[in-house]
Chain A
């Protein structure tokens, strides 16, 4: 499988740290081997069979343990391999390409728990969780209660002091990955009966320390997609917790810690899920090329090629936006919350629509349980929770809304604040480390990614399509600024109007456009032929316009044909379809 095609020079040239990162992904790809090999214990056939049984693929979990996947969730300073969000996404995307259940069910849950501790835990708590994860243990991230959904400030589970002064857990958590088998859990609980945002805390618990008599595990929850992931529930009755369990040692910081630390996961999860679309696209193309129709194959039809090219452009759009957001966590951590909410609200629907459209490609074949179809059907199910899992679209938009008027006045109209440093837009290039302590509750009205759009458009020396796009998106930013600064008080909040929510979508659109254009403007010299031509970025921007309902036009032939050609080239060479363009056996 791993052909001799080199990875894109953009990712590797002269970057010592990234050679290590590349090596991890290559190692993982080698361990997974050729997905199409019928005797591969972690190949397609076994992955589909495990899904049919509603189980995690045991051989896949063993493989990831052997690889040391958990180390990628643990900061380097604590003995792990986590050096940055982009690197983590790269590794996890390789897992998602093989099996999204393995990605979510083996790994992502532990990372979600981990970021809480890396952001707000005491040194001792950080070491404790790091040791547990590095030993191969899992951590559950226990926030969710069915009664409150993503509105975790209304959490019902309590951890209030009992008569002896020790906190006691009462209540339940539901639909949390790996609750039953995790050795550690980060539990979000009410630690003060008063209303408000200083009444909750995370508790870091070793499950062995809890009295089994006061803990009851609920039946596993069945789901449409991600069938293998062990989504459990837990009920506590007067369960005493050891002293020192409150994260950071001070009760009441729970909402703040959640809003700060989950900025990382709100970017990382959509970034990982790009791997799902990669495999969906590969699977659809494989099926379409082998399906005889009207005297040729499905891929001889212009409509089919257009659908495939559009899914490829959607993938590039999603990857570019998440990659820039991931890198901006390093270069503009105070604004990471804004970009995380924008990515988590905008990218998952793009991925879902792309997988759905690919399902139409094969027409009636899709209905069969044969050939490529069972895997594709699984991916179509597995992509669904990306829209609401962890943080729903509406909850992310609700986090953006209160920041919109100030950002319009301060960041857009008054043009306060700097643009992002150029290295933000150079995937694979070195970055300063993530400073968890700099993650902030709000962006303070500054929006450096939008500043980069305006600055880049002013500096650009090119004509034609790119310049037209730059002008268009700058005008859209101006229009958005005017609309947002006219928002009345009361426009923010759960009862905000659909119009106000729509403005957050437009904001995400401007940010995505800036990410695409700036990645183009900052492309490295000597990029490969495809990366050095504007078809990819123009196609991504065209699709962005489609997703924002600016138009309903299919991708013009002048963009669709070069994208289709590149898609087939990568397919034949066994390369991924994302910016990384690396060898894969998926």
Chain B
């Protein structure tokens, strides 16, 4: 659980970094190799929909030390737009 409790709180972070971290987590959540997780496909493709995606939201909060509206996961259904949406929140923090 080390990656969940450590809070690096980066000063600045790029959308690429956020997306790659998200891909790792989605892979871990769904038990698939990370190479299979495409950042342009909706997470529902991997079975992460409605309330189940909220677990990922909790990990984002813990990892980056931020609070996010869970609906950000629904408004940005794929990892590309989600990473873009998270960057300003992380930077602001």
Contacts and interface: CB of A to CB of B under 8 A. Distances in A.
Interface of A: 153, 194-198, 255-256, 259, 398-399, 401-403, 405-406, 409-410, 441-442, 444-445, 485-486, 488-490, 492-495
Contacts of B54: 402-403, 441-442
A194 B61 CA distance: 27
A408 to B, nearest CB: 10
Nearest to A491: B55
Given A405-B55, A444-B67, A493 B47 contact: yes
A406 B58 contact: yes
B39 interface: no
A493 B30 CA distance: 10
Say what secondary structure dominates the interface of chain A. loop
Interface string B12-51: 0000000000000100111100000000001011011111
B30 A195 contact: no
B71 A441 contact: yes
8 contacts: A255-B74, A401-B55, A406-B58, A406-B62, A442-B57, A444-B67, A486-B1, A493-B48
Q: Which of B25, B47, B54 has the most CB of A within 10 A?
A: B54
Interface of B: 1, 4-5, 25, 28-31, 42, 44-45, 47-55, 57-59, 61-62, 67, 70-71, 73-75, 77
Say what secondary structure dominates the interface of chain B. helix
Nearest to A405: B58
B74 A197 contact: yes
A402 B50 CA distance: 11
B70 to A, nearest CB: 5
Nearest to B77: A196
A399 B42 CA distance: 21
A234 B55 CA distance: 36
Contact of A198 (B31, B62, B74): B74
A576 to B, nearest CB: 36
Given A256-B71, A441-B70, 9 more contacts: A196-B77, A197-B50, A198-B77, A402-B58, A405-B55, A410-B62, A441-B54, A445-B58, A494-B52
Q: Which of A194, A445, A486, A492 has the most CB of B within 10 A?
A: A492
Contacts of A489: 25, 28-29, 55, 59
A567 B4 CA distance: 51
Given A196-B49, A406-B61, A490 B30 contact: yes
Q: Which of A195, A196, A401, A409 has the most CB of B within 10 A?
A: A196
A492 B52 contact: yes
Contacts of A493: 29, 47-48, 52, 55
A332 to B, nearest CB: 17
B51 A259 contact: yes
A406 B1 CA distance: 12
Nearest to B3: A489
B75 A403 contact: no
Q: Which of B52, B71, B75 has the most CB of A within 10 A?
A: B52
Nearest to B44: A195
A151 B42 CA distance: 19
A442 B70 contact: yes
B55 to A, nearest CB: 4
B29 A490 contact: yes
B42 A195 contact: yes
A485 B28 CA distance: 16
